[in-house]
Structure 1
């Protein structure tokens, strides 16, 4: 059963991600005197939590979301939770990853989980890989480089509709806060903090 394969793959990835934290700490220490760059995290999982993943599945299934765009694939943990959701709604996922080696590993994980046919992986700068996106979006997951949140949002905003959700991860980080402050000033959107402020869910006011 596909769901069981997804869950088994996720368990393995979460187990691997625990051993990844020391690498992240060491990488951050080396980079403390300069700006962090995406390649500093080429081996880092940077994943959402299991609780967030279950919340995403519920968001997708409760609202029958089908057309999903994810900014920031990493090794595909969040994407696999999205896949569990769209298995029930009959949807599909477009996900983007800047670093090719991470995208390759994510693709392997999707194959192992049996959901490759549900996921379109785009490798490169998301401003380029998503710039010609023409379909409406039911859910936009922002979990990539934080200073691009606003650019991605504005580029895809014309594809939002009355029932679109924008899921902002790492909302407590400085660059993400700057993005959220811009959106908060737009009266057509409502913002709902979740998971103690780590996540902000944006939707259009009814």
Structure 2
């Protein structure tokens, strides 16, 4: 039976997805700027860049099924993906460190976490993740990569020493060029197993047993 806490998370997620349905104009504005120069994170400071509900439920279930506790997320945006992580972490007694480059997005995400009543399981780091996670030295059970794509590889390499035999790395937007290049590098290391999901939009990286 779903708990009151889980019901609250689901309610906030529903509100955010309803808002995101009407947000295509902000995404289009950000994409339009790339016609004249490379895209930048600030181009999407007002845009919802969220995972699908199906992805989110899959992430929650991954956490529950594998008793995942120590979670690091790169790219919180307005907090939709983080709320799905919290939905799973509330069941396992887990904790989430999430990162967001843009201050205004991070503050909106924090508001959403407060509304959902999950602030006790989420720590938000604001700024460049290569700096805010630079001194991370705790085991990582699940690393979620869903931020700026050309940072996937340096961030993975920076945090790799914190991986263990049961670590999962969840890679979103796997069909994008920068992410494919990242996955090609990881695939050359025989210790990792890459498993495409959601028609190739996501790749789950596991350490071979």
Q: Same fold (TM over 0.5)?
A: yes
Distance 2:200 2:92 in 1: 28
State whether structure 2 residue 195 is matched by structure 1 residue 188. no
The residue that corresponds to 1:114 in the other structure is: 117
Query: What is the aligned counterpart of 2:25 among 22, 25, 31?
Result: 22
1:25 Cα deviation after fit: 1.1
1:27 Cα deviation after fit: 2.5
Distance 1:32 1:8 in 2: 38
The residue that corresponds to 1:205 in the other structure is: 208
Q: Structure 2 stretches of 5 or more lacking a match?
A: none
State whether structure 2 residue 105 is matched by structure 1 residue 102. yes
In the TM superposition, structure 1's runs of 4+ consecutive aligned residues that sit over 3 Å from their partners are: none
Give TM-score scaled by structure 1 length.
Answer: 0.99
Distance 1:27 1:92 in 2: 32
Distance 2:129 2:114 in 1: 23
Q: Structure 1 stretches of 5 or more lacking a match?
A: none
Q: Deviations over 1:17-50 (max 9, x none)?
A: 1111122113212331210000001011100000
The residue that corresponds to 1:89 in the other structure is: 92
The residue that corresponds to 1:149 in the other structure is: 152
Query: What is the aligned counterpart of 2:14 among 4, 11, 14?
Result: 11
Cα contact 2:173–2:202 (8 A) shared by 1: yes
Distance 2:192 2:34 in 1: 36
Moved more, 128-137 or 30-39: 30-39
Distance 2:155 2:206 in 1: 16
Backbone CA RMSD of aligned residues: 0.6
SS at match of 1:190: strand
SS at match of 1:9: helix
